[in-house]
């Protein structure tokens, strides 16, 4: 459907470099990256708000790079929703339809239908300033969907919502997608949004799209250390591959496959199990170490364990940490599967 080909842009001190990917019809494509990675600039280029310095945008094979925003039939939902404060919810939703000069009866029908599906039909007479954050978000989504866009562009759509409301709207977004059958490019820094909604994901770091693929493929097999660290592989180690294991400072860490030469390993902290005694397990990596630090993160605790001079970071629930009486200086065992070790 949409092809983004070698898009580049110098934007103040920021540079977007050689961005290429495609979006299939009815796909929910996630652009995932930290703040400052260039996600919003890329989205605004696709929307037609910003012109690229080079590269092309093709929609069903047709070059739309120089097409003005109003002729692309894309709907763009910015992070702040951009609702018109002086208009009612009805008129906000109807705005795009009125620009298209649709008959009044058709406008009313379409607004009623989309507002009922999104659960906001009882708010049509209200002004945006009287709505909650979640209600404003629904109005913004309704305004976008009512014009039946070729492509829905969403910039951090749930960033301003509390945790519970965010989880609820993510669940409802799945249902709305089934009902409306829309195609979306969704910019976010949230792993939860990516994993819950995305079909494929592109990881964006420092103005470059560094890895694109299906969610499981990207999250399980990061292309390099930079992507691995961003995706939560806090334990990144360097060693020498010797077949079925990698030697790191004399420690033999079992891996899957045949690994040779100097490599880096990545292990997520949540894939490491901590025990106060040696564990009988099918996991091939089991090491004794000493706790060097404990970080309280609310419902979970991050534990740093020194094993032969190598610091491993693991995550346990707070209740488990209390039950095991974990404290600095405690001797513990860490255990993790060979399949949890990513080699890059």
**pLDDT per residue as tens digits for the range 15-63:** 899 999 999 999 999 999 998 889 999 999 999 999 999 999 999 999 9
Q: What are phi and psi of 192, to 5 degrees?
A: -60, -45
Q: List 259's β-bridge partners, or say none.
A: 243
Q: Which position has the token pair 């939703």?
A: 93
Strands (E), the chain: 2-11, 14-23, 28-32, 54-59, 62-63, 74-77, 151-155, 184-188, 200-205, 208-214, 235-248, 251-267, 273-275, 285-296, 300-307, 310-317, 331-336, 342-343
- In a 3-state reduction of DSSP, which class is residue 112? helix
**pLDDT per residue as tens digits for the range 128-148:** 989 888 889 889 999 999 998
Task: Note the pLDDT of residue 208.
Answer: 94
**pLDDT per residue as tens digits for the range 78-106:** 888 888 999 999 999 999 889 888 999 99
Does pLDDT of 13 surpass 80? no
Task: Note the pLDDT of residue 45.
Answer: 94
Question: Distance (Å, rounded) from C-alpha 262 to C-alpha 240?
Answer: 4
Does pLDDT of 7 surpass 90? yes
Does pLDDT of 317 surpass 80? yes
CATH topology of domain 2-226: Rossmann fold (3.40.50)
Question: Distance (Å, rounded) from C-alpha 161 to C-alpha 134?
Answer: 7
The chain-wide mean pLDDT, for the chain, equals 91
Let me know if the fold of 2-226 is the same as that of 232-343.
Answer: no
Q: Do residues 244 and 285 touch, judged by C-beta distance below 8 A?
A: no
Task: Note the pLDDT of residue 82.
Answer: 86
* Residue 88, CA distances (Å) to 76, 131, 139, 230, 337 in order: 20, 11, 10, 42, 57
What is the Cα 54 distance to its own chain's centre?
Answer: 26
In the CATH scheme, what is the code of domain 232-343?
A: 2.40.50.100
Does pLDDT of 64 surpass 90? yes
* Residue 26, CA distances (Å) to 56, 179, 259, 328 in order: 21, 11, 39, 51
Task: Note the pLDDT of residue 223.
Answer: 87
Does pLDDT of 213 surpass 80? yes
How is the chain split into domains, by residue range? Answer: 2-226, 232-343
Q: How would you class 257 by CB atoms within 10 Å of its CB: exposed for 0-12, middle for 13-18, buried for 19 or more?
A: exposed
Q: Which of 39, 312, 332 is nearest to 201 (CA)?
A: 39
């Amino acid at each position: 459907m949409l092809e983004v080909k070698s898009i580049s842009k110098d934007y103040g001190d920021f540079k977007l470099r050689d961005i290429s990917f495609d979006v299939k019809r009815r796909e929910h494509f996630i652009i995932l990256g930290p703040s400052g990675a260039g996600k919003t600039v890329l989205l605004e280029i696709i929307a037609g708000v910003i012109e690229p310095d080079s590269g092309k945008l093709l929609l069903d094979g047709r070059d739309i790079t120089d097409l003005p925003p109003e002729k692309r039939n894309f709907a763009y939902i910015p992070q702040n929703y951009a609702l018109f404060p002086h208009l009612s919810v009805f008129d906000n939703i109807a705005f795009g339809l009125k620009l298209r000069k649709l008959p009044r009866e058709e406008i009313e029908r379409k607004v009623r239908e989309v507002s009922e599906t999104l659960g906001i039909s009882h708010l049509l007479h209200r002004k945006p300033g009287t709505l909650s954050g979640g209600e404003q978000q629904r109005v913004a989504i309704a305004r976008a969907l009512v014009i039946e866009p070729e492509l829905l562009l969403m910039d951090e759509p749930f960033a301003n919502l509390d945790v519970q409301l965010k989880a609820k709207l993510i669940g409802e977004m799945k249902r709305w997608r089934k009902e409306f059958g829309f195609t979306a490019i969704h910019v976010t820094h949230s792993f939860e949004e990516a994993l819950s909604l995305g079909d494929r994901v592109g990881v964006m770091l420092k103005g470059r799209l560094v890895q694109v693929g299906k969610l499981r493929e990207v999250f399980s097999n990061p292309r390099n250390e930079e992507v691995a660290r961003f995706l939560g592989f806090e334990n990144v180690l360097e060693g020498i591959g010797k077949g079925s294991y990698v030697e790191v400072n004399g420690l033999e860490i079992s891996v899957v496959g045949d690994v040779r030469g100097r490599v880096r390993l990545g292990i997520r902290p949540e894939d490491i199990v901590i025990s106060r005694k040696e564990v009988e397990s099918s996991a091939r990596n089991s090491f004794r170490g000493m706790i060097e630090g404990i970080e309280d993160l609310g419902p979970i605790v991050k534990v740093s364990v020194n094993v032969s001079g190598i610091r491993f970071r693991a995550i346990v629930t707070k209740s488990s940490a209390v039950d095991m009486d974990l404290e600095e200086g405690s001797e513990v065992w860490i255990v993790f599967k060979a399949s949890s070790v990513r080699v890059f």
